[in-house]
């Protein structure tokens, strides 16, 4: 069963502080409307420009059928309270109704500060129609309110992939990369087994790299000074390979990774103490 929903256009003067820095809602947002998940069966994409004055909201919306020329537009009004955007007054712009049956929808949205996406639901006054989910990300440009023209939805498939991978929204990625702090991954004596405690950190590394098409990662293996030079070189290589295997197995392409193995040649602390040896048995990382 097909449902056709509303796309909103906001221009926000409201600015919030969140974990990656300062962000404004001003400008164009776009995304998808869907039932349970964003995938190839998603039928509609949305373009949204919002405006906010104190607690009053206005929005202009364009909803398009993915892969087709069909579209319609809405104007909406609502209120802002407790960081939630609620649009409960909507009016279909009949001049742009095209090929699909439009419905007046309300909308609840909230900005997710940890990801940079706005997420929420569309709801109808018609109780027989189920609500739908909506996800938006910050974009650029303006909404075309009147023209019926061929529009590429190629961006949707990249958005779908990145959202599924858990990447933050595109406008946050440079900030995330700039503020990302590398940490070493440590190993037990003579071991190259990855400890559970470091896996969450490595998944964050994967997200940062996958969020930038021009970014690669260097993995550098090290040991303490116990054992021969030859033994330690081989052990540092095994440690680097362990990390690379985990990165590959969790979504980072092998072509995005380079590696080095230093053996015992690059200690960061004295090998004459227990704590020093512990910190020298490590793998380090660099963006390249």
Last residue of a domain, one of 118, 143, 167: 167
Same domain, 56 and 185: no
Residue whose token pair is 């293996």: 221
Q: What is the tens place of the pLDDT at every residue in 63-96?
A: 988 888 888 888 889 998 888 999 888 888 876 6
Q: What is the tens place of the pLDDT at every residue in 163-195?
A: 988 888 998 888 888 889 999 999 999 999 999
Nearest CA among 155, 166, 150 for reference residue 29: 155
Domain assignment of residue 129, given as a range: 10-167
Is 2 within a domain?
A: no
- 129 versus 75: the higher-pLDDT residue is 75
* Mean pLDDT score, 22-26: 66
pTM over 0.85: no
Residues linked to residue 109 through DSSP beta bridges, in sequence order: 85, 120
**Overall number of domains in the chain:** 2
Domain of residue 48, CATH code: 2.40.128.120
Same domain, 163 and 34: yes
Percent of residues, the chain, with pLDDT higher than 70: 86
Domain of residue 275, CATH code: 3.30.1330.60
Last residue of a domain, one of 167, 189, 218: 167
Strands (E), the chain: 10-11, 15-18, 21-24, 28-34, 44-53, 56-65, 71-81, 84-93, 105-111, 118-124, 132-138, 185-186, 217-221, 257-261, 282-287
pLDDT at residue 166 in the model: 86
Is 172 within a domain?
A: no
Same domain, 72 and 16: yes
Same domain, 144 and 188: no
Is 254 within a domain?
A: yes
Q: Could you tell me the pLDDT band of residue 4, with boundaries at 50, 70 and 90?
A: very low
């Amino acid at each position: 069963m097909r449902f056709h929903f509303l796309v909103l256009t906001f221009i926000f003067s409201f600015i919030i502080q969140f974990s990656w820095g300062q962000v404004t809602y001003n400008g164009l947002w776009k995304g998808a409307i869907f039932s349970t998940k964003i995938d190839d069966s998603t039928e509609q994409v949305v373009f949204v420009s919002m405006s906010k004055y104190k607690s009053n909201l206005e929005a202009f919306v364009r909803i398009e059928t993915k892969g087709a020329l069909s579209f319609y537009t809405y104007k909406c009004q609502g209120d802002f309270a407790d960081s939630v955007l609620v649009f409960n007054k909507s009016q279909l712009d009949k001049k742009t109704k095209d090929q699909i049956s439009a419905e007046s929808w309300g909308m609840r949205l909230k900005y997710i500060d940890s990801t940079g996406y706005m997420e929420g639901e569309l709801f109808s006054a018609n109780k027989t129609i189920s609500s739908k989910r909506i996800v938006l990300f910050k974009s650029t440009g303006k909404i075309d309110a009147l023209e019926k023209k061929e529009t590429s939805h190629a961006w949707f498939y990249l958005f779908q992939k990145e959202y599924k991978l858990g990447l933050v929204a595109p406008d946050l990625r440079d900030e995330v990369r700039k503020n990302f702090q590398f940490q070493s991954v440590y190993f037990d004596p003579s071991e190259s087994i990855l400890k559970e405690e470091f896996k969450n950190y490595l998944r964050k590394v994967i997200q940062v790299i996958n969020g930038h098409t021009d970014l690669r990662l260097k993995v550098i293996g090290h040991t303490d000074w116990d054992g021969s030079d030859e033994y330690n070189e081989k052990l540092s290589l095994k440690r680097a390979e362990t990390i690379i295997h985990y990165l590959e197995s969790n979504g980072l392409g092998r072509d995005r990774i380079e590696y080095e193995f230093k053996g015992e040649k690059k200690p960061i602390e004295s090998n004459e103490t227990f704590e020093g040896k512990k910190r020298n048995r490590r793998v380090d990382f660099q963006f390249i």
